[in-house]
Amino acid sequence: MKTIQITILFLVVSLTAYAVDSEINQVVVYRQGARITHSTQFTVVAGNQEIILDNLTPTIDPNSLQVQLRGNAILLSATVRTNFMGYQTLPKRLKELEDSLQLVSDRIDWLGNEQAIYQGEEKLIVDNQKIVNEKEKITAADLTQLADFYRNRLTVIRKKIYSNNIELRNLREKKKHLEQQLQEMNYQKGKQMGEVVLNISSEQTTRIAVTFTYLTRNAGWSPLYDLRCAGTTGPIDLVYKANVFQNTGFDWKGVELVISTGNPTVNNERPVLNPWYIDFYQPLPTPGYGAYKSADAAPMRAMNIYADEAVAGPELEEAAPVPYQVNQVSNQMATEYEIKIEQDIPADGKQHIVPIRNFELPAAYTYHTVPKLNQHAFLLAKVGEYGQFDLLPGQSNIFFEGMFVGQTYLNPEVTGDSLIVSMGRDDAISVKRNTLTDFTSARVIGTNKKQLKGYEIILRNNKKIPVTIEVLDQVPISQNKDIVVEIEEMEGASYTADYGKLLWKIELAPGESKKIRFVYSVKYPKDKQVSGI
């Protein structure tokens, strides 16, 4: 019996468990998710013991946990679990707001009880007053005494109820504001915590150091750019920034932050190509659908191919990035930007801007207009050799000649030789597109019908400097051999037949106006109808 008791006592001692705090040393933020590195030191005793690394985010991916132990001890196992009973240490501001909300809630509850007491007393007095009035015998002294009591006591009660109502209204408004502020700071009362449980074996009492990392999905970043241009004769100054957010439940304070273009949360399974079977299919007739689709498809392809071709500017020299207190490390899978200045990112789910790099982009400038879609001229900057900058698609703020002119979407994932950046529209260049009524007609020739369409585009340069402007328009594309499209006139435009694209490059002197026009015809059987001409 004694042997069994000694053995049980030995097991209890040898499996001693205690909690240890740790601090965040480094955070690597991915496009979606973040890898967080903690470190801590503690003393272990001889035997086996369970060490709990607590006060961690509950959103740990258990498969991503890595633990490194340094010292004269052996790590037997490491697991992740959720503690639903633990109490998370709140930041000071959150704790103050929580305490204030509790005091206000308690005061509201007490005033509600007090109101019920006074209202009950008021009802009791009124009911008793009715009973007294129904008595057959009542003296003047009794009536006077009753009236005085009724007036004095009910006055006190109703004043108290009135003042309580005012206080309750103010307290409820204050409670609403406190709750909104806590919600704004992403506060969740009584939320669970994550824990890492280490089973460690040691032959002696010794001090060890532990570093552990894990992945959480409740964080990420998106690119944001500032594009600044002093004029069409200079380069573009590009400021590359990261909008970092995190909702892990714990603020990142004074951490070493690394911004990574990788994304460990994406599906890494290779695609598998299965057999592709085809067979005859007889579609149900849908009046007008086929013609409408054909007419709409052509302009979309024409516009898309222009974006892909990205009319190349002159060859540009490689631009050297300007130092921006960031160490850039490019590896095979991603590019990482090690921010040299320690960062604070609160766990509020909001976006916090972290500057990454600053680049000077040599650019060739031209104006561009598509008057069929938008009768304005847009200034385009064409940047060659843009792959060296490791840019990602993202929203861009545009500043031209010191003025904010709007936003655009920067998309480096194009196949063209140049990255085209829209610097905004220039109202000093007028663009008009008019239908030529003299060239708009329809006539029957034998068994066919021929429709003629013509357009005139008017350009005017109201600037004090000469400009070059690209004008893009289109003619329809036939997908049926019985529909024949012919260009009757296009005034020097370059024509891409496969996409129906017409492109002019026009030189405009200061104050100069020019007109260009194009005419096309569509011939088809007269007993048919063609939509979208």
User: Per-residue pLDDT for 304 more than 60?
Assistant: no
Tell me the mean pLDDT in the region 92-117. Answer: 85
Q: Where are the domains of the chain?
A: 15-25+38-88+191-220, 92-184, 272-314+362-525
Contact 258, 374 (CB under 8 A): no
User: Per-residue pLDDT for 289 more than 70?
Assistant: no
Q: Are strands 23-29 and 32-44 parallel, antiparallel or unpaired?
A: antiparallel
Q: What is the pLDDT of residues 220-232, one digit of tens each?
A: 999 999 999 888 8
Query: For residue 230, which phi and psi values (nearest 5 degrees)?
Result: -80, -15
Q: How far is CA 491 from CA 161, 473, 478, 504, in A?
A: 87, 13, 22, 9
| SS3 sequence of 271-336 | CCCCCCCCCCCCCCCCCCHHHHHHHHHHHHHHHHHHHHHCCCCCCCCCCCCECCCEEEEECCCCEE
Out of 43-47, 88-92, 210-214, 498-502, pick the least confident.
88-92
pLDDT recorded at residue 279? 58
pLDDT recorded at residue 418? 81
**Largest CA-CA distance found in the chain, in angstroms, rounded:** 121
Q: What is the pLDDT of residues 460-509, one digit of tens each?
A: 999 998 999 999 999 998 888 888 899 999 988 999 988 899 999 999 99
The Cα–Cα gap between 249 and 55 comes to 10
**The two structure tokens encoding residue 499:** 């996409």
The Cα–Cα gap between 242 and 35 comes to 16
Tell me the mean pLDDT in the region 416-425. Answer: 83
**Please, what is the Cα angle at 355 between 351 and 358, to 5 degrees?**
145
Q: What is the pLDDT of residues 54-84, one digit of tens each?
A: 889 999 999 999 999 999 999 999 999 988 7
Residue with tokens 């529909």: 483
User: Per-residue pLDDT for 312 more than 60?
Assistant: no
pLDDT recorded at residue 530? 82
Of residues 479 and 257, more confidence is placed in 257
Average pLDDT of the chain to the nearest whole number: 81
User: Per-residue pLDDT for 21 more than 70?
Assistant: yes
The Cα–Cα gap between 305 and 158 comes to 79
pLDDT recorded at residue 499? 87
Q: How far is CA 530 from CA 83, 265, 483, in A?
A: 69, 49, 9
pLDDT recorded at residue 344? 92
User: Per-residue pLDDT for 27 more than 70?
Assistant: yes
Rounded-to-10 torsion of CA 324, 325, 331, 335: -60
Tell me the mean pLDDT in the region 146-156. Answer: 79
Spatial CB neighbours of 5, under 8 Å, sequence gap ≥ 6: none
**Phi/psi-derived region of residue 473, left when phi > 0, alpha when psi is between -120 and 50, beta in every other case:** beta
The pLDDT-based confidence of 293 (bands split at 50, 70, 90) is very low
**353 C-beta neighbours (distance < 10 Å), count:** 11
Question: Nearest to residue 522, comparing CAs of 435, 442, 437?
Answer: 442
Q: What percent of the chain has pLDDT over 70?
A: 81
Spatial CB neighbours of 297, under 8 Å, sequence gap ≥ 6: none
